Amino acid sequence: MRSRYRILVGLVLAFALIAAACGDDDSAGDTTTTAAATEDTTTTTEAMEETTTTAAAETTTTEAAASDALVVWADESRSPAIIAIAPAFEEATGVAIEVVQKDFGAIRDEAIQLIPTGEGPDVFIGAHDWTGPLSDAGVVAPMNDLPAGTAGDFFDPSLTAFTLGGSLYALPFQMEGIAMWMNTTLAATTDAPATFEDLTTLCDSVLSGDQACIALPGGADAADAYHMFPFQSAFGGSIFTFDPAAGYTADTAGIDEAESIAGVDFMAGLVEAGYIPSYNYGNAQEAFQQGDALFWMTGPWARGDAETGAANSGFEFQVISIPTMEGNTPRPFFGAQGIYLSSQTTQELVAKTFIYDYLATPEVQQALYEADPRLPANKTVAEVVSSDPIVAAFTQSIANGQPMPNIPQMTGDVWDSWGAAMLQVRNGESDPTTALTAAGEQINGLIGA
């Protein structure tokens, strides 16, 4: 806010000054002057408009804090669902809901930057792995007082995902994790392979030429350890120590342990045998959409893309759980998305009323689900949509899963380092032991272990 102010004031001053200097010119009627003068007017008007709004907002803050609108940040797909309940909330409480639409990925950093200045949202949507960074940055308030009755409406894993250091930091509304999209036309069967042996046999029997067996993101030029975690976890590997009750402990990086390496070795075998080409996310999507990949390992967010591809290339598909690997069940990462409460909100009661009494209701949860159908975190909604085979398949797949780390130590650097090691394996540039040992050392250095 403060710096924006200064720049704004500076801009206006500067433009007006240019105009003023031109005004002194002899050729007062020539085109330059006119242009400058016009520019001056527009800038000033715009600036005044913007500043007026700010001024109005400030006045209300000081005079009647309670009647301020509740500012909600949401991404473009979820905004309509929140806008839809705004009138009912305003009628009941007299508090308007102001939904600010943001790019989902931008919300985290903007919240960290803006909330301390008082310019941030009161309530915002976010992913569960932001919990660590957001609470570290002091911009979110815990929701430990979420009534047990309300909490009981949500699946435990979705709440665990948002819990850090014993505190719950968001009300979940959806979960997501990876499974396998299967092109049943190409496979000429709807029988899901139960083991990777079955899967490779199936690929051998039906695929030809350039067709890919498993389109798995995380190859080519894009590091993406997330999509390959099922392999790593199947044999007991993890990134940090994970306990379903206590969550993650950032003791040492687990990716260089024997269990992790065994899983990646298994994957490297498939890579070497040509079952997993070195695709990045875009390549994998394209291959599946063209009908050139038998399986696509990714999450429920790809539903629209899969449907488009199926319609355009004329194939049928289904979603299956990731097959077992030498008798081991893969544990894909799952993620959750939820609604955070700003630590700097001036309207804690209103915000909590909005989250606990309005957003937590099955109706709103249903609307949020429909806005971008992944997997509902709310039990009632899950029951309603359980007849959807895709939702059912993903639910089954992530039932074996574990949440992505939400601890602050899981920085972008850790993801980068891990992803780089996996990328080297995918591109055949390094063997699993070498790559993961190097990445493990790097990660241990990063977390100071």
Q: Judged by CB under 8 A, does residue 392 bind another protein?
A: no
318 or 344: CB nearest another protein: 344
Q: How far is the CB of 133 from another protein (least distance, A)?
A: 6
Helix 258-272 × helix 432-446 angle, to 10° = 140
Q: Provide the CB-side half-sphere exposure for 149 (13 A, CA).
A: 3
| Residues 63-82 close enough to bind another protein by CB under 8 A | 65-67
Q: How far is the CB of 227 from another protein (least distance, A)?
A: 16
Q: Which of 290, 288, 292, 283 is nearest to 312 (CA)?
A: 290
| Residues 127-156 close enough to bind another protein by CB under 8 A | 133, 135-139, 141-142, 144-145, 147-149
Buried b (16+ CB within 10 A) or exposed e, 128-166: bbbbbbbbebebbbbbeebeeeebeebbebbbbbbbbee
Pick one of 160, 174, 328, 442: the residue that binds another protein (CB under 8 A).
Answer: 442
Q: Judged by CB under 8 A, does residue 94 bind another protein?
A: yes
Q: Judged by CB under 8 A, does residue 5 bind another protein?
A: yes
Q: Quick one: DSSP state of residue 102?
A: -
Pick one of 51, 195, 324, 400: the residue that binds another protein (CB under 8 A).
Answer: 51
Q: How far is the CB of 395 from another protein (least distance, A)?
A: 29
Q: How far is the CB of 248 from another protein (least distance, A)?
A: 16
Pairwise CA distance, residues 134 & 121, whole Å: 13
Pairwise CA distance, residues 302 & 76, whole Å: 17
| Residues 311-350 close enough to bind another protein by CB under 8 A | 343-344, 347-350
Pick one of 35, 56, 57, 92: the residue that binds another protein (CB under 8 A).
Answer: 92
Tokens representing 371 are: 């806005």
- The distance from CA 427 to its chain's CA centroid, rounded to whole angstroms, is 26
Q: How far is the CB of 191 from another protein (least distance, A)?
A: 29
Residue 121 carries which side chain, given as an amino acid letter?
Answer: P
Q: Give me the residue label for tokens 């950093």.
A: 109
Q: Judged by CB under 8 A, does residue 239 bind another protein?
A: no
Number of residues that bind another protein (CB under 8 A): 96
Q: Judged by CB under 8 A, does residue 2 bind another protein?
A: yes
Span from 175-183, 254-262, 370-378, 410-418 in contact with another protein (CB under 8 A): 410-418
Whether the CA torsion 386, 390, 395, 397 is positive or negative: it is positive
Pick one of 58, 156, 191, 204: the residue that binds another protein (CB under 8 A).
Answer: 58
Q: Judged by CB under 8 A, does residue 432 bind another protein?
A: no
Tokens representing 185 are: 């036309």
Across the strands, what pairs with 121?
none
Which region holds residue 350: left if phi is over 0, alpha if psi is between -120 and 50, else beta? alpha
331 or 426: CB nearest another protein: 426
Strands 123-127 and 167-168: unpaired
Span from 55-63, 311-319, 321-329, 375-383 in contact with another protein (CB under 8 A): 55-63
Q: Provide the CB-side half-sphere exposure for 36 (13 A, CA).
A: 19
Span from 99-107, 108-116, 119-127, 248-256 in contact with another protein (CB under 8 A): 108-116
Q: Judged by CB under 8 A, does residue 105 bind another protein?
A: no
Q: How far is CA 134 from CA 6, 42, 291, 320, 397, in A?
A: 28, 39, 41, 34, 29
> What is the 3-state composition of the chain as percent helix, strand, coil, each rounded to the nearest 5?
55, 15, 30
Q: How far is the CB of 393 from another protein (least distance, A)?
A: 27
Span from 4-12, 120-128, 307-315, 376-384 in contact with another protein (CB under 8 A): 4-12
| Residues 265-294 close enough to bind another protein by CB under 8 A | 277-280, 282-283, 286
162 or 394: CB nearest another protein: 162
| Residues 8-37 close enough to bind another protein by CB under 8 A | 9-21, 23-25, 28, 37
